[in-house]
Amino acid sequence: MEWPRRTVEYTSRLCRPVTDKVLNILHSILGGLSREYIRDPNILVTDAFNMFHQNFVDSCLIAFLEREVGNFSSYPKVDWYTEELRDIKNHLDLINELYDRYKIVDLKLLRNQTRLRYKLEMYRAKRKAYDKTILNSSNQQKLCGISLIRKES
């Protein structure tokens, strides 16, 4: 009998880290650029702005070097988290932020209702995914119980 195993996944993405050193480099680059074109009466305002914008973008690309950032994840992706749950969670986060700022009673009620709905939908989604795992298992009594325990831990 083969036990389900956790797989180690490597994910990477490109980013441009913002540090004090990089901001100083950007400041130096922008400080060294000529800005005479801004006051030139022969250049249209839109052209001057486009030149300024292009200088700024080029300076940012030089200062903020692109780096690959990666991480190892030993946890498999959950198969029960759905787009609907993500939307409810985003809505709940927004309501929490508004309630923390304004302390309105109606927002508190809405927050509690949305929180309850989120927990209920999460329970249903997990239940549905686990039922699907049980139905697809070849040894439903033994193997499935172990795989569900490993998913939870």
pLDDT of residue 57 exceeding 90? yes
Percent over 90 (pLDDT), the chain: 47
CA dihedral sign, ordered 111, 115, 116, 118: positive
The alpha-helical segments, DSSP class H, found in the chain are 20-32, 36-39, 45-63, 83-102, 105-136, 143-152
Write out pLDDT tens, residues 61-90: 999 888 888 776 655 667 888 999 999 999
Q: Closest Cα partner for 70 from 10, 129, 134?
A: 10
pLDDT at residue 105, as a whole number: 95
Write out pLDDT tens, residues 90-136: 999 999 999 999 999 999 999 999 999 999 999 999 999 888 877 77
Percent over 70 (pLDDT), the chain: 79
